Amino acid sequence: MFLPLAVLMATAAVAQAPALPWRPTVRLETEVRYDNNPFLLDTLHKQRLAAPSSGDSVSGRFRDMSRATDVIPVPALQAGLEGAGLGRRALAVTATVAYEANLQNTSRRHAELEFRVDQSLRRGGGLRFTADWRPSYFHKNYLADATDVDADSNISSSERRYAAGTSHEVDLALRYRRRVLKTLTADVQVGYLARRYDAPFSGRSRNGPDVGGRLSLQLGSAWTLDADYAVASLGADPTPAVLILDEAQFGVDFNGNLSTTDPEARAVVMVDYSRVERQLGFTLQGSIGAATVGVEYGRRARTFGSTQPYDEVDRGRRDVLNEVSATADVRLAAGVRLELAVHRGAQTTNRAGDPASVGEVADYTRFVASAGLRYRF
């Protein structure tokens, strides 16, 4: 994937044109975001986070998860160079760093970095390479272990032990755009995602390729309709994990007490977090006076491929996320723009409650609203 980038940069070095001299670019952004469900909790667990039980406090289920809602200032700085590239057409190289400074859940504060190269091509085409890096990110707490302190063969809420699920992520993508008709543009993208979790959750690490495409239809002079589709195959290594299982459901003595009737037994079993994700989206965007407005619908379907016999979390699991959003980008002055956005999502899954009590996502809804200013020097 880095070969096209290397060729692109090498060619640009010898193909500069006087009409497109290299010049620096700088852009500052600041955004404030309200998120009513940053940890993607169902209704029951949002209530429990707000008022943890004694068992939740002892187990660490909600440790460092301060609030079920959050306000997040997000300052960002982008710096780059623009000049002549392939065929003396425009080339832009940019680097962006953003920092999410959560006001309530401070353990979620993190930086995100992006490197991007945009090369214009003939016939309205273009190439774009992006590399996104999230050095460290706290998702939520997951079940790490359990101890049957009272020796009753069942695991109560206070006998469970949760630990922070923290990941490091790199996302690479190469996109090619070409105008196929006067009012129709097509994009094709290939990419690779790698997410690695810290111990004790290395089994949650996953990586794999994704491919996708977009069709953009020009509707008159001011409006565009986009249709997007992408598929990602994310593989994980099967790994042993602690789950809380109902022995009667499987007919297995997980805790070794010569009984198969314990409803909440500690079980060390193999799990597999591999999945296939399919995303479909439609976006209508256009200009109204000094504003660019847009509405979007997206649907993500995930199919988990675990074949491990006692993996109650992932075996046969499917979930669907539906999202709608609206945006407005308003020009306030030369180089200054105001960005407004609202977003609502709802996920449904075929897993009831909290499978194996590990902290997995169940059915949830989420609302996010944001406002920001962007200034380009």
297-349 pLDDT, tens per residue?
999 999 999 999 999 889 999 999 999 999 999 999 999 999 999 999 999 99
> Which pLDDT tens digit goes with each residue over 13-31?
444 445 579 999 999 999 9
pLDDT per position as a tens digit, 275-287? 999 999 999 999 9
Residue type for 178, please? R
CB-hemisphere CA count at 13 Å for 323? 19
pLDDT score for 356:
60
Total-model pTM: 0.89
Dig out the tokens for 60 from the structure: 């660490």
Query: Does 3 have pLDDT greater than 50?
Result: no
In the chain, how many domains are there?
Answer: 1
Torsional class of 183: left (φ above 0), alpha (ψ -120 to 50), beta (otherwise)? alpha
Evaluate if residue 123 carries a pLDDT over 90. Answer: no
Amino acid at 141: N
Cα 33 to Cα 36, 67, 135, 237, 345, distances in angstroms: 10, 15, 21, 36, 15
Check whether 7 has a pLDDT greater than 90. no
pLDDT of residue 15: 43
Q: What is the pLDDT of residue 11?
A: 47
Given a contact cutoff of 8 angstroms between Cβ atoms, the answer to whether 123 and 184 are in contact is: no
Q: Where residue 189 sits, what CATH number does that domain have?
A: 2.40.160.40
For the chain, what percentages of helix, strand and coil (3-state, to nearest 5) are there?
A: 10, 60, 30
Query: What is the DSSP secondary-structure string of 165-199?
Result: EEEEEEEEEEEEEEEEETTEEEEEEEEEEEEEEPT
Q: At 268, which helix (H) or strand (E)? A: strand 265-271
Greatest extent of the chain over all pairs of C-alpha atoms, in Å = 83
Question: Can you give the residue range of the structural domain that contains 105?
Answer: 2-376
